[in-house]
Amino acid sequence: MTHLNANQSGTPGTPKDTSMKPALLRFRRITVAATLLGLLGTGAALAHGVDAGVQVEVVGEPSWSLSPVYHILMAHFPVALWMAAYLFILIRCLSDSEFAVRLQKAVWPLAALGTLAGFVTYGLGLTIYPWSAITESPLGRNHIMLATWTLSYWTVMSVLGYRFRRHLYVGGQRWITLALATIGAIVITITGTLGGSLGGTPSLVTESLSWIGWNVYMTFYLPTWMLVVYGVGTVVLIAIGIVGRRRA
Ligand code: HEM
C-alpha cells in the first residue's frame, strides 16, 4: 500500500506539486478545524439553548437579550487560553530546557487569542440582562468589575508578550514576568468564579475570597486613600519607564 502526502502528485515519476506552501496548508487546516469547532459549539449552544439558563420574567420595558448559554460557552475560551499561557510562562520561568523554550514561543499567541475571545465573551455577557438590571446586583457589578480588570490586564500582557518575547525571560526579568502572569491567572479565576456564583453555582474560590475579607455579595468599596496610592503608583511607574528607556 502506498501513502501519498499532500505534496506528492498521484502519478509516479511526475514532479512534486510544490504550489501549496506548508504555511498555506497549515492555515487551511487550522481554518477547517476552527470552522468545525465553531459549528460544534454553535450546535451545542443551540441544543442547550432551549429552556436553558435562568428563567426571567421581564417587567417594564421589553429589552433585547441573548440566552446566557452563548456567554457561558464562550467564557471557556479566554479562561482556557489565558490559563494555558500562564502554565507555559510558569514552566519557562522555572526551566531553560528546549521544551520550555518551545512552549515560550506559544505564549503570546495564546494570550492574544485569549484576549480576542475575552472581548467576544465580554460582549456576550453584556447581552444577557439589561445594564440597569445587572448593575442592580452587587455580585453582578463585582463580576463586571473583575471582567474589566481581567480583559484590560491580559490585553496589556498580550502586547508585552508580543513586543518583548524571549527578553521577558532573561535573568531576573523572568520573576517579574512570573509575578505579572500570576496576577493575570488570579484575576481570571476570580472573574470566572463570580460568574459561576451569578449563575447559581458558587465554588470554593468564591467562599475563600471571604477569608481575605471580601464578601462578593456586597458592593466593593475602595478606601479613598487607595485612589491616591493608585495615582502615585501610576506616576512612579511611568517615571521608571522613562528613566529606564533613557538608560537603555
Ligand atoms: C472576560 C470577560 C468575562 C468572563 C471571562 C466571564 C466569565 C463567566 C463565567 C465563567 C460564568 C459562569 C458560567 C457558568 O455558570 O458555567 C459567567 C456567568 C455570567 N456572566 Fe460573565 N464573564 C465575563 C464578562 C461578563 C460581563 C461583562 C457581563 C455582564 C455585563 C457578564 C455577565 C454574566 C452573567 C449574567 C452570568 C450568569 C449567567 C447565568 O448563568 O445566568 N459576564 N461569566
Closest C-alpha to ligand 1, atom 13: 72
* pLDDT tens figures, 183-215: 999 999 999 999 999 999 999 999 999 999 999
The H or E element spanning position 144 is helix 138-164
CA of 19 to the centre of ligand 1 (A): 46
Q: Which of 201, 202, 157, 160 is nearest to 181 (CA)?
A: 157
CA of 32 to the centre of ligand 1 (A): 28
pLDDT greater than 80 at residue 161: yes
Contacts of 113 (CB under 8 A, 6+ apart): 77, 81
Tell me the whole-structure pTM to 2 decimals. 0.79
DSSP states along 86-131? HHHHHHHHH--SHHHHHHHHTHHHHHHHHHHHHHHHHHHHHTTS-H
Long-range contacts of 131-137 (CB under 8 A, 24+ apart): 137/198
Domain coordinates of the chain in residue numbers? 69-220
Closest C-alpha to ligand 1, atom 15: 196
Q: What is the mean pLDDT of the chain?
A: 88
Ligand 1 atom closest to the Cα of residue 76 is: 10
Percent of residues, the chain, with pLDDT higher than 70: 85
The confidence score (pLDDT) of residue 62 equals 63
Pocket of ligand 1 (CB under 6 A): 53-54, 68, 71-72, 75, 78-79, 118, 121-122, 125-126, 128-129, 134, 143-144, 147, 150-151, 191-192, 195-196, 198-199, 201
* Mean pLDDT across 221-240: 95
Closest C-alpha to ligand 1, atom 28: 125
Half-sphere exposure of 132 (CA within 13 A, CB side): 7
Which residue did the predictor score with more confidence, 19 or 134?
Answer: 134
Which residue did the predictor score with more confidence, 52 or 74?
Answer: 74
CA of 203 to the centre of ligand 1 (A): 14
* pLDDT tens figures, 65-120: 899 999 999 999 999 999 999 999 999 999 999 999 999 999 999 999 999 999 99
CA of 31 to the centre of ligand 1 (A): 27
User: 51 φ, ψ to 5°?
Assistant: 60, 20
The confidence score (pLDDT) of residue 186 equals 98
* Mean pLDDT across 8-34: 65
